[in-house]
Amino acid sequence: MTDTPGHEPEGHEPEQRLPAVRPPAEAAPVERFTASRSVRTVELTPERAAQVVRQSSNARWVGFLAVVAVILFVAIYWFYELGLPFGWSQPRIGENGAEVAAQQVTAVERGYNLYEANCARCHGVDGEGGIGPVLNSQEKLFAHLNEDYLRNVFEAGGRYVCGNPDSLMPVWADTGHPPGPLNYRQIDELIAFIRAPSDQTFIVRDEELLDPKIDPVTGEVETFTGWVDPNYEPAPGSTPFPACWSDAFATPSGSPGASGEPTGSGEPTGSGEPAGSGAPSGSAAPSAPAGGDVVDIVASGVAFTTPNVTAPADTNFTIHFDNQDASIPHNVEIKDASGGVAFLGEVFPGVATRDYQVGPLAAGTYPFLCTVHPNMTGTLTAG
């Protein structure tokens, strides 16, 4: 061997340098490992290397399939929530979603109980009016009684309607000044009830448990419908409903009526109070002449204790109405055979009395009731 590269001593066989010979693989000491000898070699055997490659390929396939599954899940859930394109399915969320519709139904049914407990006394069980104005008029519901207007009335009270600081309509929202008894959710539910459509049926539910109420007579679930007619359209050329409702119900001069009748629609004055002695605002309806027989009607315990009374036919008579319920408003409303109003007396709180002058009634029977409490009923027989 020489220091000069490429020159070897004569007669000396050149040294083989490449490839370098690796020492044989030796197993690690048994004291450190408990695995079999085949896995304790320093190098991977060809079989082990092939196994690692196969496992790596399987792992890539598993990862690919997992990504595909996630993509499919996201796509399916997307269309489940928002609906298929071109309206092929109803979305679950969104403005027209099934979940929103279900929540709206719940709000309307809760609002029904709130209305019955807080509003029906003045506005009538079906929004027909009484001490307070009518609410179920399609003319008013079309645009006047919109969500923003109703919310302002609940927050400001009746003074917001006609600017009358003496209005009997109190503040209902707890955000008002002074605060009322209803929170924001209850206000939303009341508005949902007032704006509920008339082509949809809702279930009357228990106030506490929200279970459906069963009619004790028929044994069926009690239901109700909304007030808003989706198909209503104002007459061509009609003007918007006036902001102050008291100006809209002046009875035309010469219309039939009797002392004790309020305005032609049966609504009180703009302050939310009954129309004084019964004369409506604007042109007053003529009063029936005083005199004739006197018919006594008594209200006590939120019921008529004189449910059957008689009156002369075809002549004027007087109803002496004795309201014995302290601080509870009552009146006498007489219906005709078609269900229309034959006479409407002034609403007033007890304990007090009123004399109603009633015009001639044809012979027959006439149901009468209290406008504020329609469950108070009786029968007047003219003959």
In a domain, 293, yes or no: yes
| Residues 296, 371 within the same domain | yes
In a domain, 82, yes or no: no
Type and span of the H or E element at 1: none
Interhelix angle 147-156/184-194, rounded to 10 degrees, is 130
Per-residue pLDDT, averaged over 10-32, amounts to 64
In a domain, 268, yes or no: no
Task: Find the domain containing 347 and state its range.
Answer: 287-382
CA distance 23 to 32: 22
Per-residue pLDDT, averaged over 241-267, amounts to 45
Question: In which residue are the tokens 């305005």 written?
Answer: 263
Report the CATH number that the domain containing residue 199 is assigned in CATH. Answer: 1.10.760.10
Residue 10 scores a pLDDT above 70: no
| Residues 212, 303 within the same domain | no
* Lowest mean pLDDT segment, chosen from 31-45, 53-67, 260-274: 260-274
82: CB partners within 8 A, 6+ apart: 91, 92, 93, 94
| Residues 215, 309 within the same domain | no
Type and span of the H or E element at 279: none
Write b or e for each residue in 167-203: b if 16 or more Cβ atoms lie within 10 A of its Cβ, otherwise e: bebebbbbebeeebebeeebbbbbbbbbbbebeeebb
In a domain, 22, yes or no: no
pLDDT band at 279 (very low <50, low <70, confident <90, very high): very low
Backbone angles phi, psi at 356, to 5 degrees: -95, 130
CA distance 364 to 362: 6
In a domain, 77, yes or no: no
CA distance 281 to 269: 7
pLDDT digits (tens, 9 = 90+) for 168-199: 888 999 998 889 999 999 999 999 999 999 99
Q: Both tokens of residue 90? A: 């109803």
Q: Both tokens of residue 282? A: 């604007």
Residue 143 scores a pLDDT above 80: yes
9: CB partners within 8 A, 6+ apart: 1, 2
pLDDT band at 108 (very low <50, low <70, confident <90, very high): very high
Per-residue pLDDT, averaged over 7-16, amounts to 63
In a domain, 84, yes or no: no
Average pLDDT, whole number, for the chain? Answer: 79
pLDDT band at 372 (very low <50, low <70, confident <90, very high): confident
CA distance 322 to 380: 16
Q: What is the dihedral of CA 92, 97, 103, 106, to 10 degrees?
A: -110
Query: In angstroms, what CA-CA distances link 266 with 132, 248, 250, 269?
Result: 10, 12, 10, 10
pLDDT digits (tens, 9 = 90+) for 332-346: 999 988 888 889 988
Question: In which residue are the tokens 């206000």 written?
Answer: 187
Residue 88 scores a pLDDT above 80: no
Domain boundary among 225, 242, 271: 225
| Residues 214, 322 within the same domain | no
Q: What is the DSSP letter of 210?
A: -
In a domain, 292, yes or no: yes
| Residues 131, 221 within the same domain | yes
Better pLDDT: 241 or 38: 241
pLDDT band at 249 (very low <50, low <70, confident <90, very high): very low
| Residues 219, 292 within the same domain | no
pLDDT the model gives residue 260: 36
Q: What is the tally of structural domains in the chain?
A: 2
| Residues 211, 293 within the same domain | no
pLDDT the model gives residue 261: 37
| Residues 303, 215 within the same domain | no
CA distance 94 to 34: 62
pLDDT digits (tens, 9 = 90+) for 211-228: 999 998 889 999 999 999
In a domain, 241, yes or no: no
CA distance 299 to 321: 8
Domain boundary among 187, 205, 225: 225
| Residues 189, 308 within the same domain | no
pLDDT the model gives residue 165: 80
pLDDT the model gives residue 330: 85
Residue 91 scores a pLDDT above 70: yes
Per-residue pLDDT, averaged over 350-375, amounts to 88
Report the CATH number that the domain containing residue 296 is assigned in CATH. Answer: 2.60.40.420
Alpha helices in the chain (DSSP H): 46-82, 98-118, 120-123, 138-139, 147-156, 159-162, 184-194
* Lowest mean pLDDT segment, chosen from 78-82, 271-275, 311-315: 271-275
* Lowest mean pLDDT segment, chosen from 90-94, 140-144, 207-211, 276-280: 276-280
pLDDT the model gives residue 323: 92
Domain boundary among 180, 201, 225: 225
| Residues 109, 211 within the same domain | yes
